[in-house]
A and B are shown apart, each in its own frame.
Chain A
């Protein structure tokens, strides 16, 4: 058998010289990594090879299960933690728990089958349903027999990641709304078909005549069938129109409601008195087409809010409580939200600090990049304040809880964000402007028609005015924007750009100033070896291996930079970690040191904007490493795109190091504001918005208020939940060029919307004179309305082509 080039499980290329195989249906299949191998083996062992036969997409790359991760999953079993996302239900007199999990890695319906099948073998699992559209699983299980962590582990074993998540506030609302719109649409559709059938029969009357009694009968039937459409299906339009009138604005729903109610009432009157024209089919079809447009728009929004909900993981925030700061033996792990002021907690290196507090004992470096944007850890000692959300890097701390819940610094920032959201400036959108002109024109034309015809033929005046209302019916006009936005949103979704707010597509092209956060947005937000110099007979790789081996004993973000480059393990003895200085150990009976110049005793130290650390062996300098936060490869491209399109750029960062100037210089960013607090960031942007239309892109908690206040805000999926919550757009993946794609798409969308509006107005300019002269019978009105709507929809569909 020839060697397979691609992994059987995930489809990625197999690295040469590896050999991971799994027997699947008596054929040995090659895999690319131990992760995929383990997952495939689990699938085979569970007798689920059917998955491989029916899947339509390759799976995601399998991940090896790390014991740490599995331990973390166990935190989800704690009752206090489960309160947030688990509901208890009574079913057949059994107490069961139910929850919805977000599942990562679902690529096709076969995945859903695989997960369900795999989990059904767990004793105590009562119900599971995996939804492939939402990438979620609803589970119901018996807490007595089964733990939630076992369920999560079961899903991980077959190569998916599942976790509880926080439902976006909008989502439940959209889901409910989509359902009610679907019902309204179904009713309108079925009734429209019937009404149309009788309408066709009535058209025959124009050409060949019909007996009077049948005409009456058909009209009455149409009247009856159109009534639920008007009363039930078209409700949202009246409500929106009423809301618009109350807020003294003009929206598209006002002319819609006028046309609908006017035409229906007049047709009803005509039916009862037995003279005049009836437009029941126009009314029903109009409602149906509009609802279709609205439903598509809603579904696109719902999809976006669901996708962004899935990104908001609920991580169990735990704290280690101690009764007495002098006795560390008595510890208990409890959910962080149950802590009260005055209690003492231990925070180990690498853990996130769960509350605002004061350091009682210990000294450590603390990374506060989430709050300040500064990615170099700050060293803090006794009595220094620490904040919830920051990460303890180097050594164990004992902290006295000072503030919990709503009083923490993070809560203040969220509060600032909410306020900014309320005062967010709006950019006028085209559809509203169009609507305003349209309503004015419609009312003027209709009244003029009525007045003129009152002089010419008083008995005709009312019916001709009605035909004007129906003919100019703003169907195409009101479909112009929603259809275009929906197609654009769907297209962007495919590219990994989630649009949470619909106005974005119309406002992005008016943006003339983009404000960037630095750490984690323009840069990757983690340390990387940028420059290494060697001074001895030790080779480059040997130096890196030595440094990496030492760094294994540190939780500092620097250690990751070395870890990636380590090739060989080296035996070191007596490793000592000196927080804030460096690490030392015994190697070949000599003292090996890695750290600052002073700690290593290096005299002529290198000047650099970056962090420089040295490696010495018994005072002999082996190497110097320059570490820094690396720029994202896509950053220069997006900045040149901005310059090319005359968009100003500003960097707004909490970081105070010289690094900011350097990044600005490299990327030729014109303005820089550094060392600013979230509050100052917000003030800066509000000042800027007096003259410019501003887009903010960021990822941290400290960016959240600014993002809420900017005209348009963009968050990276790798960012914090708080930032993602306040953003209008979320970019999945690391590629900043998606901003350019968004900008281009926004331009195309606006163009299409304009085309649609021009067409809708053009159609009205042709039909109005005919209607005014009384040449528009019902069948022409329906024909014109349907054709103009179809043209608008087809034009919008062009956006789906990339």
Chain B
């Protein structure tokens, strides 16, 4: 039974990681529009899908008109 002295701390580390990931997801606005992302996959995108949502400050790849071939 003394194995739990090791296993439980490991589990706690995992929970901590989960919480950090969740915080990051909230901060990067991933919970803002839940209706849409599920449907996105149905469309024939010949462009890389845009990032889910990004802050206006962060970097964003410019889509050149030449990428558009539809």
Q: Which residues of B contact A217 (CB under 8 A)?
A: 4-5, 8
Q: Which residues of B contact A183 (CB under 8 A)?
A: 22-23, 26
CA distance A463 to B65 in the complex (A): 72
Task: Name the interface residues of B22-60: CB closer than 8 Å to any CB of A.
Answer: 22-23, 26-27, 31-36, 38-40, 42-44, 47, 50, 53-54, 56-57, 59-60
Contact between A138 and B47 (Cβ–Cβ < 8 Å)?
no
Q: A133-B35, A183-B23 are in contact. Are A120 and B56 (CB under 8 A)?
A: no
Q: Which residues of B contact A221 (CB under 8 A)?
A: 8, 12
CA distance A129 to B23 in the complex (A): 22
**B interface, how many residues as a size bin?**
35 or more
| Nearest-Cβ distance from residue B41 to partner chain A, whole angstroms | 10
Contact between A54 and B39 (Cβ–Cβ < 8 Å)?
yes
CA distance A468 to B54 in the complex (A): 49
Q: Which residues of B contact A134 (CB under 8 A)?
A: 32-33
| Nearest-Cβ distance from residue B48 to partner chain A, whole angstroms | 11
**A interface, how many residues as a size bin?**
35 or more
Q: Which residues of A contact B1 (CB under 8 A)?
A: 214
CA distance A733 to B11 in the complex (A): 54
| Nearest-Cβ distance from residue B38 to partner chain A, whole angstroms | 8
Residue in contact with B33 in the complex, picked from A128, A132, A140, CB distance below 8 Å:
A132
Contact between A91 and B70 (Cβ–Cβ < 8 Å)?
no
Decide yes or no whether A577 CB sits under 8 A from chain B: no
| Nearest-Cβ distance from residue A95 to partner chain B, whole angstroms | 13
Q: Which residues of B contact A50 (CB under 8 A)?
A: 43-44
Decide yes or no whether B10 CB sits under 8 A from chain A: no
Contact between B8 and A131 (Cβ–Cβ < 8 Å)?
no
Q: Which residues of A contact B12 (CB under 8 A)?
A: 194, 221, 224-225
Decide yes or no whether A84 CB sits under 8 A from chain B: no
Contact between B39 and A110 (Cβ–Cβ < 8 Å)?
yes
CA distance A179 to B18 in the complex (A): 17
Decide yes or no whether B3 CB sits under 8 A from chain A: no
| Nearest-Cβ distance from residue B57 to partner chain A, whole angstroms | 7
Decide yes or no whether A116 CB sits under 8 A from chain B: yes
Q: A54-B42, A123-B65, A183-B23 are in contact. Are A194 and B15 (CB under 8 A)?
A: yes
Which residue of chain B lies nearest to A189 when distances are taken between CB atoms in the complex?
B22
Q: A120-B68, A190-B19, A214-B1 are in contact. Are A89 and B63 (CB under 8 A)?
A: no
Most B-side CB within 10 Å, residue of A47, A109, A121, A131: A109
Decide yes or no whether A113 CB sits under 8 A from chain B: yes
Decide yes or no whether A143 CB sits under 8 A from chain B: no
21 contacts between A and B (CB under 8 A): A50-B44, A54-B42, A89-B57, A98-B56, A109-B38, A112-B36, A113-B39, A126-B60, A128-B50, A131-B32, A131-B53, A133-B32, A140-B56, A186-B19, A186-B22, A186-B26, A187-B22, A190-B15, A190-B18, A194-B15, A221-B12
